[in-house]
Structure 1
Amino acid sequence: MISKKKAIIYGIVLVVVTALFTSTFQIALGDKVVISKDMYEGYKKYNKMVGLEGMIKEDFYQKPTDKKLVDGAIKGLFSGLDDPYSQYYTKEEFERLKEQTSGSYVGIGIYISPTSEDDYITVIAPIEGSPAEKSGVQSGDKIIKVDGKPVFSKNSDEAVGMMKGKAGTEVELTLNRDGKEFNVKVKREEIVSKSIESEMLEDGIGYIKIISFSENTYKDFKAALNKLQEKGIKGLVLDVRDNGGGLLDICQKIADELIGEGTIVYTKDNKGNTEYLKSGKGKVDLPIAILTNKGSASASEILTGALLDNKAGISVGTTTFGKGLVQSVRELKDGTGYKLTTAQYFTPDGDYINGKGIKPTIEEKNETKQLDVATKWIKDQMK
């Protein structure tokens, strides 16, 4: 067992190293370090952890690396928040996270999220045309194992890394659907996510499907909207079904095109500070219906709430996923990074949707009929 003296030395080392990054470090006198009482009180809580590090290094049957121990300790710091959305990322993991918003990677093509109901990874939706969709993966499926290894929401990034790999290779998912477990083999492919699809429907109604809110989505949305307006559309259907969300600033730009002057969303942090995201005066002066389902999450819900609360349109379909928390993503100097839930968000009318979602203006559970219901409503507004 590690000696008491060595444990104390580890504690002093921790304080000294940390002190180098603060202005309250005082002075070294020979082999003694003088620090402020506040600093000592602030850092002595980590002495147990550093002491245990020494014990592990002395007694563990293999030689652990400092990097893995430090990464594990930092990951533990975030897991102590009991928040499935807050995580620390190693350099490799953070690179994978950035891929998710770039629109191109090799994998199986699914949007996933933790939920408050259990510790499993939940499929929000498979990407349209992706290997996952072709293999039968559905919205709401729980991922229990990847290649036989149990996975949970707390290690969702590890699971994502396991699902990615060389194009043409297979990965086996163990899924739980409605209480029944089964295995699905999915062949990995290069996933090039289209962010927008659009077309002209009958009777002068435009249709835009927003597949994700990624880096190029607003540019693609604006181009699609302009093209439809050139054709003289008289109404607009937006489709965010199975859209798991993405970048808030992209959602804000799209909402700004649609709702006119008003509030898009507002957030509250742990200090009670409130921040409002506003839109300008310009708007698409058309009847708008937005299609939603249980796979519509995060940015999709922000856009839906903005349309509804600003009386700029209605929603058709089923209740959305229910994610009302805002994450900030930060990259650190060494290439690592973290995602931290920093605020709750509220729709313009003050509705907190986390865990309950947004109910549609017109409920239609049959997805094959939802577009028809939306276009009928728009036609009634055009009369």
Structure 2
Amino acid sequence: MFNYFPSIKSSDLVEGFVSPEEFLYQIKSGEDYANKVLEAREIYKSNKENYTLFKQTNLPCYSLNFTFNKIRSNDTINEASGYIYLDIDNNLEIELGNPLIFASWVSLSGHGRGVLVKVNGLNKANFSYTYNEISRELSIHSDNGARKATQVNVLSYDPDLYLNNTSNTFLAISKKDQYSTKKTKKTIGTVMGSEFHNLRFDNLDELIENIEFDGEVIYDFKQKIKYADAYIPFGGYQEGYRNNGLCGYAYQVRALNPKVNFKTLYNLLKIVNQEQCHPPLHNFKIRKIVESVMEIKNFAPIMNKTRRFVYNKDYQLNVSQRKSEMMRLINAGRTENSKIKIENAIYDWDFETMGKITQKGIRSITGLNLKTIKKYYPLYKSDIKLLNDNYAKNS
């Protein structure tokens, strides 16, 4: 159900409820309000300020994301409507054939579109993330100003309203799950005992095995190094992407574990299918995928990720500690780069053109911040004095 309100100006208190079917019928038929919508579009063409005032006071509006307990606010959300509303400004040409789109109509101004998508698991915490993810899936630039759980949509009129009753349902991801499938990797062993305990889901061990950490917590390659990772994208695999997604995942797991047997890979893929495919495929299709992957003779891991830093396994670091160590090395690298730039500027100084060496002169050559130059200037002060004195004697 959707809540409705007399107007934007009077949208604090819930007026009542309408079904999605009633809401869409009102847009398509224009019953009661078509003339006012057409009037709003004429006003929009000539005076945007008058249009805004008309829009806020003359037409009813609806909350399409959540229903509310009497008062429309984040604190009074009652439940999700089962849909999410996306607002698109100044663009009428979107791909209506996308299987995620349940309904779409021309907006009140006549220059944009409203889009409804079916969603499971939507809540206040994951609303913004879900709004952005669906926008990305639809390849649209949705209005960030409408990215609010409490957003209301002013009634429009579109006799050509698009409706797809068999559209896909997007699975909203809770905030704690908003990371790539390290979740699957970490929990898979506990789901079915020790069967997956020895499986590799990346080949970072190959990067680390020849590194001499010398007691250090972290190692910096100084550049991004490619490695292979069996991962699942945010939100798992939606309908239309499940088969290819699971094939790629199964191939990568087998390539990282050349001795994996059919039973283990099949059991792993069944779990991934149930947890990450929306909706899951039938098990006979999972079996076909595993059979085809196991028949591949020449296979090698796909180097699909990059990493600059690796961590010493002798230390048990949490995420915060890892980030801290990484930033320490990055900042140390910046320090070295700054020093090298200053040194090059000093020892390659063109006295004929620049005159004596100064901090401002170093800044003009290196492009470094003056505070950075002042910080390291004392390290080179004696050399600079010597070079400047020599220049003064010979000039």
- Higher radius of gyration, 1 or 2: 2
Greater fraction helix: 2
Which has more strand, going by share of residues? 1
TM range (shorter): under 0.3
TM-score between the two structures when normalised by the length of structure 1: 0.18
The normalised TM-score by structure 2 is: 0.18
